[in-house]
């Protein structure tokens, strides 16, 4: 009954309920502690009197909360960023082997030597009635560390959805540059074989940049795209077309002149057609994979790591809170004389208890709020760094899971603060007055 009701609620409402639910222990403890007392003027006075020490506690808690929520948000941002980078790669067909290796090579342009798909197989893919777009992805060369990939003009249109500048390559001497490359239309590049690190050999085939792609948020932003025919040509292989070829780049290719490609991007308009093609091309000769699917499996594996991270984040926060509470115990000794005076004036023990607990809880709540601000800043900085390092656009934002973590933290520590408050209320009145 409750389950049905719960699942019928919009996810936002569920998140809000969980958030409020996690704050219930704080609210109940607060109501019980403060019932009948007006402690706020005293708390404000204490905060003013002990600004430096209060600020230190708040900063300590804020840093701990900020790092924890920042890391968790970053992990989610990275997951979404890697998935978004794979959005344009509906189906990849490669020679049988490791799906992860093929995905890393095709989507994230990690240099890998993959076996080649032959002309007959490519022709079967290209001519399949369900295929709307098939493009070879021939990687291996590079220019100053920037991967150079041989493909077809329709793939450039598919990836970039229109160009930021210029046009798509039309001859074997032209190239299109990714958004993050330092290249502009009119520049000339001369790629080398491999990544240029060890087997350095120039191909003696310069390309003129004729277009620049839009930002895709993927490592393809730092790549140069050229005609696959030119990649075959510079490696002294057939260009994929027969003797009657008029020079128009792209498919259909002549199977007998097809030099091979490590991967083929396949796109069908309909999702069902993509899955049908995947089942058809998962054979002894070819492997068909959805990068999104492989990533989801990887992310599921990482789910365990995520849970460990969450536990570690909570544990770190709680340990910082313990340190803060230990500090508060000391603070309560500093406050002891004032409290003793209050009690001498007739305030009951429970009032001292309420003041100490409220003081601790106010510091924790302020720290948690500031921690959220720190988390937002940490997330933005980390996202920029990761995007710059990987070319994968990471847009991490704090969301409900982080808010739940903070709410859980605040409630837990508020309940734990009862102990130092209790200790403060049990101090010897006479000793404290004499001190």
Partner 1 sequence: MRLFIAALFSLIAFAAVANEQDHGHDDHDDHAGEAHADSEHKATLGDVTLLHAWAAETEGSVVFVYVEIDNEGDAPITLLGAEADIAGTVDLVGFQSKDGVASYAPLPMLPIASGAELTLAPNAVAFRMTDVTTHLHEGDDFEIHIIFDAGEVAIMAQVEPEGATQHRHAGHNH
307 binds partner 1 (CB under 8 A): yes
Of 152, 239, 379, 412, which one interacts with partner 1 (CB under 8 A)? Answer: 412
Closer Cβ to partner 1, 55 or 318, answer by number: 318
Q: Which residues contact 272 (CB under 8 A, 6 or more apart)?
A: none
Closer Cβ to partner 1, 265 or 295, answer by number: 295
330 binds partner 1 (CB under 8 A): no
356's tokens: 């100490």
Look-up: residue for tokens 């032959």?
118
Least distance in angstroms from the C-beta of 22 to partner 1:
14
**Number of residues binding to partner 1, judged by CB under 8 A:** 43
296 binds partner 1 (CB under 8 A): yes
Q: Say if strands 224-227 and 146-151 run parallel, antiparallel, or are unpaired.
A: parallel
Residues 67-106 that bind partner 1 (CB under 8 A): 79-84, 86-87
CB under 8 A: which stretch of 166-174, 204-212, 292-300, 357-365 binds partner 1? Answer: 292-300
Least distance in angstroms from the C-beta of 296 to partner 1:
4
413's tokens: 């520590």
Closer Cβ to partner 1, 125 or 249, answer by number: 125
The residue ranges of DSSP E strands in 9-106, in sequence order, are: 91-94
CA 255 from chain center: how many Å? 41
159's tokens: 């990836």
Closer Cβ to partner 1, 296 or 385, answer by number: 296
Give the DSSP letter string of 150-161: EE-HHHHHHHHS
Of how many residues is the chain composed? 435
Residues 125-144 that bind partner 1 (CB under 8 A): 130
CA quadruple 170, 174, 179, 185: dihedral positive or negative? Answer: negative
CB under 8 A: which stretch of 14-22, 41-49, 375-383, 413-421 binds partner 1? Answer: 413-421
325's tokens: 């509470």
Least distance in angstroms from the C-beta of 392 to partner 1:
10
Distance CA 108, CA 86 (A): 8
Q: Which residues contact 13 (CB under 8 A, 6 or more apart)?
A: none
199's tokens: 């087997």
Of 24, 188, 305, 322, which one interacts with partner 1 (CB under 8 A)? Answer: 322
Q: Is the peptide bond before 252 cis (omega within 30 degrees of 0)?
A: yes
Binding stretches for partner 1 (CB under 8 A): 3-4, 7, 79-84, 86-87, 130, 271-272, 274-276, 279-280, 282-283, 290, 292-293, 295-297, 300, 304, 307-308, 311, 314-315, 318, 322, 325-326, 329, 412, 416, 419-420
């Amino acid at each position: 009954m409750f389950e049905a009701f719960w699942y019928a609620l919009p996810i936002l409402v569920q998140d809000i309920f969980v958030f409020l639910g996690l704050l219930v222990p704080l609210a109940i403890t607060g109501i019980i502690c403060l019932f009948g007392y007006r402690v706020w003027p005293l708390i404000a006075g204490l905060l003013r009197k002990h600004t430096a020490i209060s600020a230190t506690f708040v900063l300590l808690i804020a840093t701990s909360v900020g790092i924890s929520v920042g890391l968790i948000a970053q992990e989610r941002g990275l997951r979404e960023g890697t998935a978004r980078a794979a959005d344009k790669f509906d189906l990849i067909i490669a020679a049988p082997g490791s799906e992860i290796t093929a995905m890393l090579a095709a989507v994230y342009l990690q240099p890998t030597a993959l076996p080649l798909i032959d002309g007959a197989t490519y022709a079967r893919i290209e001519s399949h009635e369900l295929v709307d777009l098939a493009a070879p992805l021939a990687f291996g060369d590079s220019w100053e560390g920037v991967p150079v990939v041989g493909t077809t003009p329709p793939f450039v249109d598919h990836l970039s959805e229109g160009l930021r500048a210029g046009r798509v390559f039309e001859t074997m001497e032209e190239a299109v540059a990714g958004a993050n490359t330092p290249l502009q239309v009119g520049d000339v590049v001369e790629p080398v074989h491999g990544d240029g690190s060890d087997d350095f050999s120039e191909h003696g085939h310069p390309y003129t940049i004729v277009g620049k792609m839009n930002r895709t948020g993927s490592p393809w932003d730092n790549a140069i795209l050229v005609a696959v025919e030119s990649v075959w040509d510079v490696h002294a292989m057939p260009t994929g077309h027969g003797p009657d070829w008029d020079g128009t780049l792209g498919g259909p290719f002549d199977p007998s002149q097809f030099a091979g490609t490590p991967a083929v991007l396949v796109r069908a308009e309909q999702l069902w057609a993509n899955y049908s093609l995947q089942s058809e091309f998962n054979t002894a000769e070819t492997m068909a994979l959805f990068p999104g699917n492989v990533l989801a499996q990887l992310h599921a594996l990482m789910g365990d790591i995520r849970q460990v991270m969450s536990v570690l984040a909570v544990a770190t926060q709680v340990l910082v809170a313990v340190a803060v509470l230990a500090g508060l115990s000391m603070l309560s000794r500093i406050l002891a004389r004032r409290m003793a005076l209050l009690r001498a004036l007739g305030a009951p023990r429970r009032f001292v208890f309420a003041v100490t607990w409220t003081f601790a809880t106010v510091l924790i709540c302020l720290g948690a709020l500031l921690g959220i601000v720190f988390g937002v800043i940490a997330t933005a900085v980390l996202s920029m760094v990761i995007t710059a390092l990987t070319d994968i656009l990471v847009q991490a934002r704090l969301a409900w899971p982080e808010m739940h973590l903070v709410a859980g933290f605040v409630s837990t520590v508020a309940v734990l603060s009862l102990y130092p408050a209790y200790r403060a209320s049990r101090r010897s009145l006479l000793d404290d007055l004499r001190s």
